[in-house]
A and B are shown apart, each in its own frame.
Chain A
Amino acid sequence: MTKITRTRTFTTTPRTHLEVEQQSTTESAPPPLIGDAIPAKRDPYTVTTRNAENQLLRHQRQVPIGSRRRRAAIASTSQVPFSQLPYQCFQEARSFLKEDRDDKLEALRVQRERLEKLRQKSGSVQPKDEWRHGNRVRSMRKQVEELKIQADINDPLVKKRFEDGAGDMSRPIYRHLADKQWRSYKRLILMQRITQMNVVPDVLPAIDPIVSTELAFPIPGHENKRIQRLRRVQHGDFVDSALSEKAPTLYVQPYDKGTRLVTIAVVNADVPNVEKDAFDYRCHFLAVNVPINPTDTRVRLGQLGKDQVILPWLPAYAQKGAPYQRMSIFILQQPSTEDATENASLSLDTVALKADSKYNTRLGFKLRSLVDRFALQPVGVDLFRTQWDASMAGVMQRAGIVGSDVEFKRKRIEPLPYQRMGGERYR
């Protein structure tokens, strides 16, 4: 029987679809009995010779795992754990780093004590000193967080675990490493796409993303299967209309601790307005009070509760002949409550919002107005684009959108009559 093992990923990004997981157990080969015709059981991880591989296949019906080079390496190395490998320089480096880690832990303990004493004094702080006291508490807290990261940053096992994608996001060091990795490449790409596509001055004046976003649409035709397969979309990709018909799944990864509530708004900034000869905004999705966590990052936009969704998902559409339309997704953090230790956020009143005519209509939706009204802070952004394709008409009809047979044509501009100027112009 063929055994499939879990493949190793180097990133912390979530998987697009579930894989069948089965850990194969390695069996230790028993010593061969003298005069016994039964061959010893072979380990699929350590067979090296062709003969052994054939025997494994024939007698145990197992396929050898990994390349022959890998199997030879596993067979020839001992089972010493990585941190105890007998290399002198490495062990000395480890002991030096351990001393440094102990120093950092001691400093952390001292700083925590100081913070505790300061917090106890905060009851007796005069109003004129409140701001300064608050500043001291904030900077002490920042120092505590920094010390936590400095204690673990030199650990090779932490680095290995993070690179294998097994980092626990509830720990600050893995969040720090993931944040650094995101900012080194993917965030740069995101900002490039956002600024190139002019999402930022058009929909919101400015944005500084601090949460990473990943968008994935459910593949149509797989709904009744047990596993819902998703197709990942890169920032700024063109998405087929059939794919964007159903509400997507958004993976929002914050890099600081605590659960917070966010508002998710999907705004189309390129709705053509023929009378104005300009473009309008249209909101394709609006949900409030969505909880986001470093460990629990999946938000299925189609499965949010009635008390969270204000405008349900409207498929992205663009009329024939119109240029491509930008669908921007904004993650807006709701303001935090008074006790700002664990990022607890204020809940917005869904009923009031549903009744407010400014925010329950799709066409003419102003995201700036929503942000200003509720003091929301933009923390994340994503983008995909849509244009007319073969399945768009069907999508529009199924969604009940009027105008699937409309075609935009360019207005013919009469050229200016040729007027010959004086002779000196053509010298």
Chain B
Amino acid sequence: MIKAPSTSLLRAFSPLWRAESVPWVARGCIAQQVHFSTAEQRMARKKGMGPKTDMRITLIRYHLQHPLTPRPLRFSRTRALRHWTIHRAWRLYQNKLRLTRQLELERQYNSMNAACEALRLMDGDGLTQEERSKLGAEIEGSNDMGRLYRIAMKKDDGVRADAVGKGVPIEYARIQTETPPRDGWNSAWTR
């Protein structure tokens, strides 16, 4: 007795065999598919017979196959007004989001700007010129003035958040601390 070949592949790929796994709303869609033959179906058929087509699928198909896509819709007066209201509200919401983002970026930029300006006016001891004169400390030579600012402005060297040029990614940096100092540990120090 010849064993019938396995129909597992056929089941997997043939649309006719997979009709059960299709949701009930799409049954009409399958039934509405084009026949294999391109000849017209001229057989006399009874009105109302044939597969029950789902109007919603028909309409969606017509909408997608329209020569002008997206299909121009014609709304009634109240429908159009509701659409307009929703559109206005959505645009307003998007604008508000955009503005908050913009303000946040501006705030961050201004904060960085202020920090750089403070660094520019600061010398090695962390004082500006007017603070120095107020405290009465002697005004040193200004080669130390704004040193950290100049280091921060270097684009082709050192640690950078955006790693521009020859910059090193900021993840490789050491957090700036007060101690230990720049000169490091002097092992050869004697009294």
Contacts and interface: CB of A to CB of B under 8 A. Distances in A.
Contacts of B77: 160
Interface stretch (A90-98, A170-178, A220-228): A90-98
A96 B93 contact: yes
Interface in A156-196: 156, 159-160
Contact of A159 (B84, B89, B92): B84
Interface residues of B, number: 12
A93 B88 contact: yes
A100 interface: yes
A100 B90 CA distance: 12
A96 B81 CA distance: 16
Contact of B82 (A96, A97, A156): A156
A29 interface: no
Interface string B81-108: 1101110111011000000000000000
Q: Which of B78, B82, B89, B93 has the most CB of A within 10 A?
A: B89
A156 B85 contact: yes
Interface string A252-292: 00000000000000000000000000000000000000000
Q: Is the interface of B mostly helix, strand, loop or mixed?
A: helix
A82 B79 CA distance: 10
A87 interface: yes
Contact of A90 (B82, B92, B93): B82
A93 B78 contact: no
A40 interface: no
A87 B82 CA distance: 9
A154 to B, nearest CB: 5
A110 interface: no
Contact of B86 (A82, A93, A100, A160): A93
A154 B81 contact: no
Nearest to A89: B86
A84 to B, nearest CB: 12
Contacts of A197: none
A87 B86 CA distance: 11
A156 B84 contact: yes
B85 to A, nearest CB: 5
A85 interface: yes
Contacts of B84: 156, 159
A89 B88 CA distance: 12
A135 to B, nearest CB: 26
Contacts of A87: 82
Contacts of A96: 89, 92-93
A90 B75 CA distance: 15
A98 to B, nearest CB: 10
Contacts of A90: 82, 85-86
Nearest to B76: A73
B89 A156 contact: no
Contacts of A93: 85-86, 88-90
Nearest to A73: B76
Contacts of B90: 93
Given A89-B86, A90-B86, A100 B92 contact: yes
Contacts of A160: 77, 81
Contact of A85 (B82, B89, B92): B82
A250 B189 CA distance: 102
Interface string A334-361: 0000000000000000000000000000
Contacts of A100: 92
B78 A85 contact: yes
Contacts of B86: 89-90, 93
A160 B81 CA distance: 8
A361 B85 CA distance: 57
A160 B78 CA distance: 9
Interface in B51-98: 77-78, 81-82, 84-86, 88-90, 92-93
A94 B92 CA distance: 12
Of A93, A94, A154, A160, most buried by chain B (CB within 10 Å of CB) is A93
Nearest to A98: B89
A90 B78 CA distance: 11
A160 B85 CA distance: 11
A154 B92 contact: yes
A97 B89 contact: yes
B85 A97 contact: yes
29 contacts: A82-B78, A82-B81, A85-B78, A85-B82, A87-B82, A89-B86, A90-B82, A90-B86, A92-B89, A93-B86, A93-B88, A93-B90, A94-B89, A96-B93, A97-B85, A97-B88, A97-B92, A100-B92, A154-B85, A154-B88, A154-B89, A154-B92, A156-B82, A156-B84, A156-B85, A159-B81, A159-B84, A160-B77, A160-B81
Given A87-B82, A97-B92, 12 more contacts: A89-B86, A90-B86, A93-B85, A93-B89, A94-B85, A97-B85, A97-B88, A154-B88, A154-B92, A156-B85, A160-B77, A160-B81
Task: List the 5 closest A-B pairs by CB distance, nearest first.
Answer: A93-B89, A93-B86, A156-B81, A90-B82, A156-B85
